[in-house]
Chains A and B, each alone.
Chain A
């Protein structure tokens, strides 16, 4: 497995979740003050560290004994299908685009009439839920490929730095990030990695070894285009 592919997948998957968390924290920051927003985010990060510290090593130890691929792979397949089909629906117009600007406006309006505890809870929950999704991705990748842990952790850290940098630079809703395109790529990667790992875990022999992963990405990408085009055309005619 190419470590850079792993790092790239972790980077994109983490970045998508972090953009959502950053949008919520910014909405709280602008309406209830940065102290409330950042303290909620800080407590959520502390809770995340505790959760990963408690369950991460357990997962890694288990991976050393049993082949985690057959557990992690199916999860990634399900995550991948969920992400990719949503991206296709959005691109084809069957589902509304995920609009960070709209989320920001909705959160701002709701918070204007509530007290700061709600702001804290909103920031806390946003960071905790999105952060947990990042943690699940990073920990499962790291547990399945312990030798390449630096790549998966590095991918997530790079995403954190990039999104934080963007948030600080823009100081505005992050709707400029083309989220649907990012989600399409992430869905493809998760689905392909999940298929590859589940197959390995089941003892299947992939035709081209590790290079089969690239063939899987190509196969799913072609299929996604074949599904998207008629859906889009039908939508346009309706």
Chain B
């Protein structure tokens, strides 16, 4: 359990918002296949930018 936590900390730097936001961005990009490619890229980037904002306002680790 401790090792898992260390791996999680190593990859995410202790952020909860970053992996959740990244997951949402990937799922959104996959589910919006019928949209124009440019619009999908814009949606993907918008979610990642919001993820970065959310991660920055998280509790300091």
Binding site for B on A (CB under 8 A): 74-75, 77-79, 81-86, 88-89, 94-95, 191, 195, 198-199, 202-207, 216, 219-220, 223, 227, 231
Query: Which one of A77, A79, A83 lies within 8 Å of B48 (CB-CB)?
Result: A77
Query: Per DSSP, are chain A's interface residues mostly helix, strand or loop, or mixed?
Result: helix
A-B contact count (CB 8 A): 81
In the complex, which residues of chain B have a beta carbon less than 8 angstroms from the beta carbon of A207? Answer: 38, 41
In contact, B29 and A223 (Cβ under 8 angstroms): no
**Would you list 25 pairs from A and B whose C-beta atoms are within 8 A, ordered by A residue?**
A74-B22, A78-B19, A78-B22, A81-B12, A81-B13, A81-B51, A82-B12, A85-B58, A89-B60, A195-B45, A198-B26, A199-B29, A199-B41, A202-B29, A202-B30, A203-B37, A204-B41, A205-B38, A205-B41, A207-B38, A216-B45, A223-B49, A223-B52, A227-B53, A227-B56
In contact, B60 and A78 (Cβ under 8 angstroms): no
| Chain B interface residue bracket vs A | 20 to 34
How far is B40's CA from A10's CA once the two chains are assembled, in angstroms? Answer: 29
How far is B48's CA from A200's CA once the two chains are assembled, in angstroms? Answer: 15
Query: Which one of A74, A89, A191, A231 lies within 8 Å of B52 (CB-CB)?
Result: A191
In the complex, which residues of chain A have a beta carbon less than 8 angstroms from the beta carbon of B58? Answer: 85
> Which of chain B's residues has its CB closest to A75's CB?
B11
Mask of B3-31 contacts with A, CB within 8 angstroms, 1/0: 00000000111110011001001100110
In contact, B45 and A82 (Cβ under 8 angstroms): no
Knowing that A199-B45, A223-B53 touch, tell me 10 more A-B residue pairs with CB under 8 angstroms.
A78-B15, A81-B15, A82-B14, A85-B52, A86-B13, A195-B45, A198-B26, A198-B44, A204-B40, A207-B41
How far is B37's CA from A206's CA once the two chains are assembled, in angstroms? Answer: 8
